[in-house]
Amino acid sequence: MSAPVSDHPPERLSDYLNGDLDPRAVEAVEAHLAACAECTLALAEMRRVAAWARSTPPPGHDPDLWPAVERSIRRDTPRRGPRAHSPPPSTQARGEAWRPRSAPAFLAAAVALLLLGGGAGLGVAAGARFAGAALGSPEVLDLRAMAGVLTVLVVLVPVAGITARIALRPFVDAFVRLRKDPSTEESLRLVERRLLLLEREVEGMQDEQGRLQQRLEGMEFQRRLQGD
Amino acid sequence: AGTLAGASADLPARGDGADLRLDLERAVAALPGGARDVFVLYDVEGFSHGEIAATLGMGESTSRSQLARARMLLRHHLSG
């Protein structure tokens, strides 16, 4: 049984006519043509159109029409320069872009953690001193030192936390990926299948839209001709 | 640009005269802009899809589909 006509859109027949298809595609089109009268007729008519165009004198020979067509083409053709296309950064490029930012962040986290450790040590020492002083001689209380240590801790703890979070995030992400739950993988597979089905539905809608577009273009084309 | 082998055998007879030619040329002029441009450049002027794509700032696949559109729209003017 032959494939449906929708499998051989006009582009396919046109490319076949131009000799632009690879041997396998040619074989497929010819197999279809052998069983599809509609496509065979369309191909014959397209061939006649192309042959007529080849036999048509180049633009300029007709004093009336071709110059008008040429002018129309020039008027409608957008003046475009080379596309300033900037491709999205590759994964590798993104990775390389990540390193310069994360390396200082990691260093900063290490420094902050050292400071935090030092601050905590000072705090512990001051606390011990405060306790000893409270138990022993109250007159040696150094509240100013305590306040200084607490201030340092209040500043350093959030800074160290944020910096460590930024620096360690890639490692945490990698760990999460390694420990990925099998049920999550199953869910992902289901989502991927649903996406595939949705894509097929969209392709079907696009095919239908293409057919409607062709009919609309044909009607518009006839309307223009009749308006001449 | 293309092979178009055997196409000459399908040409309209000379006896069809200037009326048919004029009718087809009017039909070309009435084509949608993109399809008309590609048809004239490919089938009349003999440019390749690559050259047309570079000239008109479109992809080669677009050039191919526009050529097919033009041929499909024009074919009824030769079949009558």
Determine the Cα–Cα distance for residues B15 and A225; give it in Å rounded to an integer. Answer: 23
Spatial CA neighbour of A145 closest among A127, A131, A120, A158: A127
Q: Do B27 and A225 touch (CB under 8 A)?
A: yes
pLDDT of residue A76: 62
pLDDT of residue B57: 92
- Answer for the pair B40, A67: CB distance below 8 angstroms, yes or no: no
Q: What is the pLDDT of residues B61-70, one digit of tens each?
A: 999 999 999 9
Q: Do B32 and A221 touch (CB under 8 A)?
A: yes
Spatial CA neighbour of B24 closest among B10, B42, B9, B36: B36
pLDDT of residue B58: 93
For B16, name the nearest residue in chain A, comparing CA atoms only: A52
Q: State the helix-helix crossing angle for B17-29 and B60-74, rounded to 10 degrees.
A: 140
Determine the Cα–Cα distance for residues B69 and A25; give it in Å rounded to an integer. Answer: 20
pLDDT of residue B18: 62
Mean pLDDT over B40-51 rounds to: 91
Q: Do B44 and A77 touch (CB under 8 A)?
A: no
Determine the Cα–Cα distance for residues A46 and A49; give it in Å rounded to an integer. Answer: 5
pLDDT of residue B68: 92
Q: What is the pLDDT of residues A113-155, one digit of tens each?
A: 566 555 555 555 555 555 555 555 554 456 677 777 777 777 7
pTM for this entry: 0.47
Spatial CA neighbour of A38 closest among B47, B24, B4, B75: B75
Indicate the burial class of A176 (C-beta count within 10 angstroms; 0-12, 13-18, 19 or more). Answer: exposed
pLDDT of residue B50: 93
The closest CB to that of B64, out of A11, A51, A217, belongs to A11
Determine the Cα–Cα distance for residues A7 and A2; give it in Å rounded to an integer. Answer: 10
Q: Do A45 and B31 touch (CB under 8 A)?
A: no
Q: Which pLDDT tens digits describe chain A residue by residue (228 residues)?
A: 455 545 667 888 999 999 989 999 899 889 889 999 989 998 998 998 888 888 876 554 555 556 666 666 666 665 544 444 444 444 444 444 444 445 555 565 556 556 655 555 555 555 555 555 555 555 445 667 777 777 777 777 777 777 777 777 777 777 777 666 666 777 778 888 888 888 888 888 877 777 787 778 888 888 887 776
Instruction: Sort out which chain A residues have CB atoms less than 8 A from B65's CB and list them.
Output: 10-11
Determine the Cα–Cα distance for residues B14 and A157; give it in Å rounded to an integer. Answer: 94
**ipTM value > 0.90:** no
The closest CB to that of B71, out of A49, A54, A58, belongs to A49
> What's the pLDDT band for B60 if we cut at 50, 70, 90?
very high
The closest CB to that of B4, out of A50, A73, A218, belongs to A50
Spatial CA neighbour of B25 closest among A70, A41, A10: A70
Task: List, as ranges, residues 123-182 from A with C-beta within 8 Å of B.
Answer: none
Instruction: Sort out which chain B residues have CB atoms less than 8 A from A42's CB and list them.
Output: 72, 75
Spatial CA neighbour of B56 closest among A75, A11, A79, A70: A79
Higher pLDDT among residues B27 and A149, named by residue: B27
Spatial CA neighbour of A170 closest among A99, A110, A109: A99
Task: List, as ranges, residues 52-71 from A with C-beta within 8 Å of B.
Answer: 52-56, 58-59, 62, 65-66, 68-69
pLDDT of residue A116: 57
For A51, name the nearest residue in chain B, comparing CA atoms only: B7
A22 interfaces chain B, CB cutoff of 8 Å: no
Instruction: Sort out which chain B residues have CB atoms less than 8 A from A56's CB and list them.
Output: 21, 24-25, 44
Mean pLDDT over B16-27 rounds to: 70
Q: How far, in Å, are A92, A100, A176, B31 from residue A172 at the CA level? A: 19, 19, 6, 60
Please count the residue pairs, one from chain A and one from chain B, whose beta carbons lie less than 8 angstroms apart.
138
